[in-house]
Amino acid sequence: MLTSHHPRVRFRALVSAACATVLGAGLLAGAGTATAKPEGREAAGSKVIGYFTEWGTYDRKYYVKNIQTSGSAARLTHINYAFGNVTGGKCAMGDSYAATDRAYTAAESVDGVADTWDQPLRGNFNQLRKLKKLHPGLKVLWSFGGWTWSSGFGEAAKNPAAFAQSCYDLVENSQWADVFDGIDIDWEYPNACGATCDTSGTAAFKNLMQALRAKFGSNQLVTAAITADAGPGGKIDAADYAGAAQYVNWYNPMTYDYFGAWDATGPTAPHSPLTSYPGIPKATNTTSATIAKLKSLGIPASKLLIGIGFYGRGWTGVTQAAPGGTATGPAAGTYEQGIEDYKVLKTKCPATGTVGGTAYAKCGNDWWSYDTPATIATKMAYKNQQGLGGTFFWELSGDTAGGELIKAIS
């Protein structure tokens, strides 16, 4: 998942009948044999989970109130609050000022009521509490790790029970226990390399999730964001995701960031293709390949969600409009090079084509790829056909003020 500090940023109108027909005839034709049971399919796609970033309240000025005013709150089933830290073998607060201390003005507040100096809880947590009062069915999970803070999981894996206890004590702290409905783990990556490399072994992730489930019990949610690397011997193969599946309510495979300007000279390729296409730099770097691999391991379709990026990735120094062109480096972005919010790109560099079930755009010397409402609709048709448990996206502030992308999801 994206963070704000790394080039790989892991901190990081519905589809027409014609498109649906093409999708049904082509992409979905051979996929029907491995779908969920009929009852699973009835509920397919019911979950809609959006990430809310703790740091987004600073430069981005995206507050919990914006989840309400954009219409997103009414469409979400769950919010993942990102991120808590993992350090010293324990779950820890990320930014306590943003989470619990910052005083919100009446104009910034979900319910139009300003915080007072002496109230016991302020910050994002109190704003989430207010949002849940407006939407009693909405659930919130506290997500720990992410690209930047995953290095602590190796230590945590040495004593899973102690780690689970620390997480439970933090998430269920009496000051904000009513805000959270469970925990989400975003370990990038168990027994593999992310910002740092982990060597804790194949069983470490399963053991960690087992301990969390034992501590949080059956009534709280325990979920995990997991790698989308479906290549032979890739990150999915490095950990026992199938064995851990029994302990999670669902997985969020990060089906985006397959390609990007960390490969500075290209070839240009969309960061979140649904399917392969002629000339794709790596055939297994697609959403459908990731889902197929996870299902082949025996993970139930109902426990797999499809991931959507509310942002684009781009290169500059590109002369070719079609994918596969050369580049000279990452395109300029508002907060970091090579990445930009959908809300900016839709007007700055409108989509000029689609490939592999997602969109791309060339404007000037820049080449971007991102999902649009139309390509999200294509992905939702795939999700439903596969009997998946729902959709999650990174992250809420990338959408338009009117919630254009979340409307395409739901």
Distance from C-alpha of 138 to C-alpha of 182, rounded to nearest angstrom = 12
Ranges 18-27, 68-77, 340-349: which has the least confidence: 18-27
SS3 153: helix
Rg (CA), the chain: 20
- Among 87, 219, 60, which Cα is nearest to 144's? 87
The pLDDT of 359-377, averaged and rounded, is 98
pLDDT in tens, 244-285: 999 999 999 999 999 999 999 999 999 999 999 999 999 999
pLDDT tier for residue 82 given thresholds of 50, 70 and 90:
very high
Residues near 263 by Cβ (< 8 Å), separated by ≥ 6?
A: none
Eight-state DSSP code of residue 303: G
pLDDT tier for residue 410 given thresholds of 50, 70 and 90:
confident
- Among 215, 188, 125, which Cα is nearest to 394's? 188
C-beta of residue 408 within 8 angstroms of C-beta of residue 14 = yes
Q: Which amino acid is at 302?
A: S
C-beta of residue 187 within 8 angstroms of C-beta of residue 224 = yes
Distance from C-alpha of 173 to C-alpha of 170, rounded to nearest angstrom = 5
DSSP symbols for 7-62? TT-SE--PPPHHHHHHHHHTTTGGGGGGPPPHHHHHTTT-EEEEEEEGGGGSTT--
Of residues 25 and 360, more confidence is placed in 360
Active site residues: 188
Q: Please, what is the end-to-end C-alpha distance for the chain in angstroms?
A: 22
C-beta of residue 278 within 8 angstroms of C-beta of residue 334 = no
C-beta of residue 385 within 8 angstroms of C-beta of residue 378 = no
* High-pLDDT (> 70) share of the chain, %: 89
pLDDT of residue 44: 56
* Interstrand relation of 305-309 and 250-253 (parallel, antiparallel or unpaired): unpaired
Centroid of chain to Cα 303: 15
pLDDT of residue 246: 98
* High-pLDDT (> 90) share of the chain, %: 89
As a whole number, the mean pLDDT across the chain is 91
Q: Which amino acid is at 65?
A: K
SS3 331: coil
pLDDT at 13 over 90: no
Of residues 101 and 42, more confidence is placed in 101
Neighbours of 278 (CB within 10 A): 8
The pLDDT of 226-234, averaged and rounded, is 97
pLDDT in tens, 135-181: 999 999 999 999 999 999 999 999 999 999 999 999 999 999 999 99
In order of their start, the domains of the chain are: 10-27+36-309+372-409 (3.20.20.80)
The pLDDT of 354-383, averaged and rounded, is 98
Distance from C-alpha of 101 to C-alpha of 309, rounded to nearest angstrom = 30
pLDDT at 227 over 50: yes
pLDDT of residue 31: 33
- For 186, counting Cβ atoms within 10 Å of its Cβ (0-12 exposed, 13-18 middle, 19+ buried), the class is buried
The pLDDT of 364-379, averaged and rounded, is 98
HSE, side-chain direction, 13 A CA sphere, residue 242: 11
Q: Which is it for the CA torsion 67, 69, 72, 75, positive or negative?
A: positive
Q: At what angle do helices 204-216 and 160-171 cross, to 10 degrees?
A: 40
Q: At what angle do helices 17-25 and 373-386 cross, to 10 degrees?
A: 40
* Interstrand relation of 311-316 and 329-330 (parallel, antiparallel or unpaired): antiparallel
Q: Which amino acid is at 385?
A: Q
The first and second tokens of residue 308, run together, are 């959507």
- Among 263, 271, 299, 264, which Cα is nearest to 287's? 271
- Among 401, 331, 410, 319, which Cα is nearest to 369's? 331
Residues near 62 by Cβ (< 8 Å), separated by ≥ 6?
A: 53, 56, 396, 397
